[in-house]
Structure 1
Amino acid sequence: MSGFAQRYWASLTDTDITSLDQLIEQGRSRDGSLWRRYLVSLLDVPMTRTTVRETEQAKSEPSVSGERPASTAFYALETTIDVGVAAQSPRRWWRGTSMALATLLVIVTAFGAARLLLPAPRPASPSTSVTAGYHTVKDPAGYTVAVPRGWTRKQKQGEQTPVVYYNSPDDGRQLLFFEAAESSPMASLSLAENDPGYGYSHLPGYKALHRASGADWAELTYRYDDKDSGTLQVIDHRFRAADGNVYATRASSPASLPLVLIREPLDIAVRSFCPSHAVCT
């Protein structure tokens, strides 16, 4: 530390201390003010000496005393700080950033090209097809229903509503539809079986084969002897449709045919049945 710096420090601290170590120790005192402690932190940093040679004019023109001018010395703080890793040069940083941007541009371009070249997936459209061999008809009685292709339609007037028949042209099978007047499927089926004048139980050769029911449906499988067609097998299914009303679907065939031949068209008819003024899913 130069004598000038020591004198400057002594003028600031009002001390006569001339030793650099003593000056630093005095400034580090815990009861010292903050500005003193800040100056001491500067004194702890190594100082480098830089000498500036005399100018060319001073070389050629000697001083009045004939002596060459003395060199001027400046003291500067050492500012090199070791952080363990050399800082990346601006050019190297820009080169790395440029490489990353170029890579990103290539990826985006390739992705866009793939979107243009590859066919876009098409959204699935709701299927409107029905089981092979069947077609959906809008029946004039007020509903849509899927029935076997080639079957012929016939309609008769019932006691309260129309009764619609779809008949097979070659094997005696038949589908029958009508709207029931009862409040529930079970009540409607029970009346159809046990009505004193027209119930199934009064038919010649009547025999109940199977009964089943659910929350909004009831079903009875039976057989009886018809005077014109011989022994017939019947599945009578009563159900509540989407409009809240009760409907009857009855499938029949000669008893010589497998029961499945009337079970299939009955099930398809019930699943597809929808009143014209209702919304069905």
Structure 2
Amino acid sequence: MRVYDTERQEWGGSRRERLFHTDQYLDVPRQKAVRQRTGIVLAVVGLAFGVWALAWKDEPEPYREPAAAEQESTAGTDGAGNGVPPTGSGTHDAASTALPVGYASQQDAEGYRIALPEDWTREARSSQYGIDVVDYRSPDGTRRLQVFQVLETSPYASLKAARVEAEKLDGYEAVSLAEVPADTGSAAEHEYRADEIAGEQDGGSTRHVIDHRFEAADGERYALVAYGSDADGAEDERELVDTALLWFCPPGLECDPPAG
């Protein structure tokens, strides 16, 4: 086959053709060697490109403080991936109901927990049933909170029996006697006025009484009875009963502070 030599401006013979197409006239072993060298070069180039691509794709993220990284990973979810901002979970102490000013929670010698004014004194006497009857008194003796255990099978039945005795008091005047809502078990309340009540130190003035009886977390029934002057209204006796009831924990049990 003849080829055209552009430099010489003439057609060349077979010898010149071999100069232009040298690969075609190499012997077979040399052709294989050329192809192997070409394959090795291409493989090296391809490997280098792959390493570069992987290194670029897996480049590490900028360093972040552990606390910041954890905060970013949890923000915006509720733990189940629902896209809800996280909320704190405070302890019972942090969410406890605040006591009225001047009140304190205390553990009584009879085993129950209760809350009442800090400067009140305590007296106790034996009872025919359950724990001792405990009286807490204000320093001036005008207010009292009584705690005892109830024998009857229900708070309401116990109050109906107690009303029979209360009706014998001078100047007895009923305000209410009814079952009331309760967090545990059942509860009932008897509210009344009377001119003279045994054990009170300011006889002769009308007294206001709230007798609250309830079933506690231990399944037993207890009474919280608040006594005070009727002249200053019913709010102070109500606060006494409500606070004592809210913080009451029966003997032998451990109770969390009431939740706010």
TM-score (norm 2): 0.63
Q: Which amino acid aligns with 1:153?
A: R
Cα 1:113–1:95 shift into 2, 3 Å: farther
Query: How much does 1:111 deviate?
Result: 4.8
Q: Which amino acid aligns with 1:205?
A: G
Identify which of structures 1 and 2 has the higher relative contact order when contacts are C-alpha pairs closer than 8 Å and 6+ apart: 2
SS at match of 2:244: helix
Residue 11 of structure 2 corresponds to none
Q: Is the 8 A contact 1:232 1:253 kept in 2?
A: yes
1:201 and 2:167 equivalent?
Answer: yes
Distance (whole Å) between structure 2 residues aligned to residue 217 and residue 168 of structure 1: 26
Residue 211 of structure 1 corresponds to 177
Residue 247 of structure 2 corresponds to 272
Cα 1:100–1:141 shift into 2, 3 Å: same
Q: Is the 8 A contact 2:156 2:178 kept in 1?
A: no
1:66-119 deviation digits (Å, cap 9, x = unpaired): xxxxxxxxxxxxxxxxxxxxxxx66555444323322x432xx215363699xx
Query: How much does 1:278 deviate?
Result: 2.8
Q: Is the 8 A contact 1:185 1:238 kept in 2?
A: yes
Distance (whole Å) between structure 1 residues aligned to residue 219 and residue 171 of structure 2: 35
Correspondence for 1:139 among 90, 108, 116: 108
Aligned pairs (5 A) from 1:156-195: 156-161=125-130, 162-170=132-140, 172-194=142-164
Q: Which amino acid aligns with 1:274?
A: C
Residue 34 of structure 1 corresponds to none
Cα 1:142–1:110 shift into 2, 3 Å: closer
Cα 1:93–1:159 shift into 2, 3 Å: same
SS at match of 1:105: coil
Unaligned runs of 5+ in 2: 1-20, 28-45, 72-86, 198-202
1:249 and 2:224 equivalent?
Answer: yes
Q: Which of the pair has more CA radius of gyration?
A: 1
Query: How much does 1:124 deviate?
Result: 3.3
Q: Is the 8 A contact 1:172 1:253 kept in 2?
A: yes
Q: Is the 8 A contact 1:229 1:254 kept in 2?
A: no
Query: How much does 1:126 deviate?
Result: 2.9
1:105 and 2:61 equivalent?
Answer: yes
Query: How much does 1:182 deviate?
Result: 0.8
Cα 1:116–1:153 shift into 2, 3 Å: same
Q: Which amino acid aligns with 1:250?
A: V
Distance (whole Å) between structure 2 residues aligned to residue 152 and residue 229 of structure 1: 23
Unaligned runs of 5+ in 1: 1-49, 57-88
Residue 75 of structure 1 corresponds to none
1:101-146 deviation digits (Å, cap 9, x = unpaired): 22x432xx215363699xxx99733318651422222212231211
SS at match of 2:140: coil
Aligned identity (percent) is 33
1:240 and 2:232 equivalent?
Answer: no
1:262 and 2:216 equivalent?
Answer: no
Query: How many corresponding residue pairs?
Result: 191
Cα 1:171–1:97 shift into 2, 3 Å: farther
Q: Is the 8 A contact 1:175 1:249 kept in 2?
A: yes
Q: Is the 8 A contact 1:251 1:262 kept in 2?
A: yes
Query: How much does 1:159 deviate?
Result: 4.0
Q: Is the 8 A contact 1:242 1:280 kept in 2?
A: no
1:194-253 deviation digits (Å, cap 9, x = unpaired): 2xxxx1111111111123314510001100101715100000000011221111110111
Aligned pairs (5 A) from 1:27-106: 52-54=23-25, 94-102=51-59, 104-106=60-62
